[in-house]
Chains A and B, each alone.
Chain A
């Protein structure tokens, strides 16, 4: 690594106008993150014309700020309203919202902001030192590896629910089924599209999440609006206490590393990161039953992970020219419009852009942390608003957000339809979390598996023979089969030992 270019990158990042664009970007990002349905990809697309006349570095600093700023903002609605705007904040909603219902929205959001800051910053440091070497990681993941990764993810979804496992599995299966809607990824045959082009590309994740979590939850709450709230949230403390910090510091550390590594993978990286981080926290907890009922680690782990992943998802874009997600694709376009081609030549041809943007993220994360703390107190007050008033406002914003994804009115009807489904599921005690995550991972699994089978000529054993996918298969077998079996044997042994002990007495 060339240190002088890193240092001159700092000089670029701290030019006053770049600081201003960074501040503008993260503020806009945070605000659209808070508004359900409005995503960074659509926002950046809308703002593209503004960037035409800016310096390339300033433009990308601002647009990047919108992207990671939205990750901070998205957490707020996930926790307060149980309305995740991105696949990577679905798991945050589980324990985050449970904490909010117990009146601990402030500390939950405080820990989330701190976790995001640490995860994001750790990720930038790692990116600066080993980004070029890590480009290879993205390439080591082919269809076979994504297949196994998606499979691991789907099994992890099973660990999310805190109610009946059968209901979780049923919801996840329904999510997998919904993922097949659209043109067959390999053959182009329309599946469950009812003859309309509107469904040809499948259903966007945001629409499913806005329907099941957003509209479904709102309908359910309206039904219960006369009853007293389960817990009156306290508004006083936005800064988490010592205990919260002690409980979550290791989770933040683990989440940052998990997020950084998985975030490098284009396609599903950030979602997998938050999911794995949650599962790791639940497995390593002394009392896993707390999860889903308001465990602060369940917020800290995934939040540090998804912000770390948001940062490391720049690696494939900046080093290979491969956009990892829809937002990165728009950023790619922004760079191209500036006459800069993201890819293998970027770091040597435009070191000022590369390091200027990377180093601006330190500042951006710090600004977000500083912005978050006072704003949390403000947003928490939102819970004080009567459901009868809050519900219609949320629905209107959700609809605007939904429309903005494809500028398509049909999608708004879909959200309402899925909202009715979400309401029905909630009534019958089915969790939307497993449904939504299985939906995301389902399309990845199906397409990757079928691509692998074509590449392997139909030979399944190749999954084990390739080094990376073989290792992933081993991890899958260990976590899904071996560990639960051992645990069962051990509990039986201790039970036997206790019995014997009783007898010996």
Chain B
């Protein structure tokens, strides 16, 4: 019987641990901790606060795979969907800020969400720290190929337009809503539950037009089933070079979806540094680049401070434009 002795020894050792833990905790707060130099020592959980199979999920899987080598650890992807990402991000904030859990986040949650519902408990970008920015995905206004509207001007001259959106609080709703609102075209928005049903409704000609992401529309544009009228990006899309921007057509509307990776704001600097470097390298990977091209996404690669500034500016711009246009994004029927 040799077991009892080592066990007792272990217990004694454990009893001695608490003061040590407290001591090292002080050091962590002080900023310099040798343990952090070896981050990461185990797998880093990559949370996707959206359903499996969607654009956000696919980007995350592509970039997580590319980051495994530079980080030297695996990055298992877990879906934590709910409330446009708020459920997953709140759980992230409730957990440890040690860098072993990171999450995807999207611009619409911070820039459009607050314009829909005034929620005092909403996740704010100040609670988070952006470790990497990933993509910029444009929206394109499309009509059915058989539609009488050949150009944006035709559509805006219509007596009444029913336009589909991918849901309340999405860039799809905001871009089309602002366009029709600022141009004072009588238009009714018909929110659907995501991209698939909106595409179905447009192909079935239940709605006249819809603003959708390039990934959702390009296969149908290429197949000749949909006609693009304008894009809502600052410059023409590299994937749709002959389609004018809304700005070119005289409508000052810029709406896009941007995706980035976050950790809780109080994550140690060293840890954030390691993660940022790993993802910067991951973004250079050829497979990741191919993925972006296959899915009609453009790169958005800026530092965290510039990204936060962009989010703040976009929020202000959207709020001003919504007020000017008189559009209601879902407050009254």
B78 pairs with A407, CB closer than 8 A: yes
Which of A323, A344, A447, A451 interacts with B220 by CB under 8 Å? A344
- Are B58 and A337 within 8 A (Cβ)? yes
Q: Does B177 interact with chain A (Cβ within 8 Å)? A: no
Q: Are B79 and A323 in contact (CB-based, < 8 A)?
A: no
- The residues of A that contact B285 with a CB separation of less than 8 Å are none
| Contact digits for B162-191, partner A, Cβ 8 Å, 1 yes 0 no | 100000110000000000000000001111
A200/B52 in contact, CB under 8 A = no
Q: Is the CB of A197 within 8 A of B90?
A: yes
B151 beta carbon closer than 8 Å to chain A: no
| A333 touching B53 in the complex, CB below 8 Å, given contacts A197-B86, A406-B81 | yes
B190 and A455 contacting across the interface, CB-CB below 8 Å = yes
Residue pair B80, A142 in contact (C-beta under 8 Å)? no
A190 interface hit (Cβ, 8 Å) = yes
Docked-complex contact A343 and B219, CB < 8 angstroms: yes
Quick check: B83 and A186 within 8 Å, CB to CB? no
Q: How far is the CB of A142 from chain B (nearest CB, A)?
A: 3
Contact yes or no, B90 A344, CB < 8 A: no
**B44 lies within 8 A of chain A by Cβ:** no
Residue from A141, A185, A339 in contact with B290 in the complex, judged by beta carbons closer than 8 Å:
A339
Mask, A325-368, CB within 8 Å of B = 1, is 01001111110110101011100000000000000000000000
A329 neighbours in B (Cβ, 8 Å): 51-54, 196
Which residues on A sit within 8 Å (CB–CB) of B54? Answer: 329, 333
Cα separation A326 to B206 with both chains bound (whole Å): 23
Please tell me which one of the listed residues A52, A141, A200, A339 contacts residue B82 in the complex, with CB atoms under 8 A apart.
Answer: A200
Contact with B along A406-431 (1 / 0, CB 8 A): 11100000000000000000000000
Question: Is A475 part of the binding interface, using a Cβ–Cβ cutoff of 8 Å?
Answer: no
Residues of chain B lying within 8 A (CB to CB) of residue A185: 168, 191, 193
B51 touches A188 (CB 8 A): no
Question: A321 and B193 in contact (CB under 8 A), knowing A200-B87, A337-B62, A408-B82?
Answer: no
With beta carbons under 8 angstroms apart, the residue of B81, B121, B196 that contacts A201 is B81
Which of B57, B77, B87, B204 makes the CB contact (< 8 A) with A408? B87
Cβ of B124 under 8 Å from chain A: no
CB distance from B62 to the nearest CB of A (A): 7
Question: Is A188 within 8 A of B168, CB to CB?
Answer: yes
| B327 contacts A by Cβ under 8 Å | no
Q: Which B residues are CB-close (under 8 A) to A52?
A: 65
Q: Is B126 an interface residue (CB 8 A)?
A: no
CB nearest to A265 among chain B residues: B200
Tell whether, in the assembled complex, residue A337 and residue B61 are in contact, meaning their CB atoms are under 8 Å apart: yes
What residues of chain A lie closer than 8 Å to B223, measured between beta carbons?
343-345
Contacts of A322 in B (CB 8 A): 196-197, 199-200
**Distance between Cα atoms of A41 and B190 in the complex (Å):** 28
Closest chain A residue to B192 by CB distance? A451
Are B190 and A407 interface neighbours, CB within 8 A? no
On whether the beta carbons of B290 and A198 are closer than 8 Å, the reply is no
Contact at B87–A139, with CB atoms within 8 Å?
A: no
A454 to B201, CA, bound (A): 13
Contact A406 B82 (CB under 8 A): yes
Residues on the B chain within 8 Å of A141, using CB: 204
From B65, B77, B79, B83, give the contact of A197 (CB < 8 A): B83
| Residue of A whose beta carbon sits closest to that of B116 | A188
Nearest-neighbour CB distance to chain A for B210, whole angstroms, equals 13
Residue of A nearest to B333 (CB): A187
> B interface, how many residues as a size bin?
35 or more
Give the size range of A's interface with the partner: 35 or more
- Flag if A48 contacts B80 (CB, 8 Å): no
Residue B331 CB within 8 A of the other chain: yes
For the complex, is A457 an interface residue (Cβ under 8 Å from B)? yes
Residues of A within 8 A of B333 (CB): 186-187
In the complex, which of the residues A143, A186, A331, A344 contacts B330, with contact meaning CB atoms closer than 8 Å? Answer: A186
Q: Given A141-B204, A333-B57, A406-B80: A188 and B329 within 8 A (CB)? A: yes
Question: Bound complex: CA of A321 vs CA of B199, how far in Å?
Answer: 9
Whether A457 contacts B83 by the Cβ 8 Å rule is no
Q: Is B203 on the interface with A (CB-CB < 8 A)?
A: yes
In the complex, A177 has a CB within 8 A of chain B: no
With A185-B193, A189-B117 known as contacts, the answer to whether A333 contacts B219 (CB < 8 A) is no
Q: Are A49 and B77 in contact (CB under 8 A)?
A: yes
User: In the assembled complex, which residues on chain A have CB atoms less than 8 Å from the CB atom of B169?
Assistant: 188
Determine if B270 is an interface residue (Cβ-Cβ < 8 Å): no
A434 interfacial contact with B, CB 8 Å: no
Interface string of A390-408 (1 = CB under 8 A from B): 0000000000000000111
Nearest chain A residue, comparing its CB with the CB of B191:
A186
In the assembled complex, the CB of B113 is this many whole angstroms from the nearest CB of chain A, namely: 9
Least Cβ–Cβ distance between B291 and chain A, in angstroms: 8
Does chain B have a CB within 8 A of A195?
yes
A267 on the interface (CB 8 Å rule)? Answer: yes
Residues from chain B with Cβ under 8 Å of A343 in the complex: 219-220, 223
A407 touches B79 (CB 8 A): yes
Q: Is the C-beta of A62 less than 8 angstroms from some C-beta in chain B? A: no
Closest approach, in angstroms, between the C-beta of A39 and any C-beta of chain B?
11
**In whole angstroms, what is the CA distance A455 to B80 when docked?**
34
A122 interfacial by beta-carbon distance below 8 Å: no
A344 and B225 CA atoms in complex are apart in Å by 9
B84 to chain A, nearest CB (A): 8
Which of A144, A197, A320, A457 has most chain B Cβ within 10 Å?
A: A197
Known contacts A141-B204, A333-B58, A341-B294; A454/B190 CB under 8 A: yes
Is there a chain B Cβ closer than 8 Å to A110's Cβ?
A: no
**Residue A266 at the B interface, CB < 8 A?**
yes
Does chain B have a CB within 8 A of A441?
no
Q: Could you say which residues of chain A place their CB within 8 Å of the CB of B290? A: 339
A-chain residues with CB within 8 Å of residue B190 when the two chains form the complex: 143, 186, 451, 454-455
| 5 closest residue pairs by CB, A with B | A188-B168, A142-B206, A329-B53, A333-B53, A45-B52
Q: Contact residues of A with B, CB < 8 Å? A: 41-42, 44-45, 48-49, 52, 138-144, 183-190, 195, 197-198, 200-201, 266-267, 316, 320-323, 326, 329-334, 336-337, 339, 341, 343-345, 406-408, 447, 451, 454-455, 457
Q: List 29 A-B contacts (CB under 8 A).
A: A42-B52, A45-B53, A52-B65, A185-B168, A186-B330, A188-B168, A188-B330, A190-B117, A197-B83, A201-B82, A267-B197, A320-B200, A321-B220, A322-B200, A326-B51, A329-B196, A334-B53, A336-B58, A336-B295, A339-B290, A341-B219, A344-B220, A344-B223, A345-B219, A406-B81, A406-B87, A408-B91, A451-B192, A455-B190
Q: Please name 6 further chain A to chain B contacts, defined as beta carbons within 8 Å, in addition to the given A200-B87, A336-B294, sorted by A numbering.
A: A42-B52, A197-B83, A329-B52, A333-B61, A337-B61, A344-B225
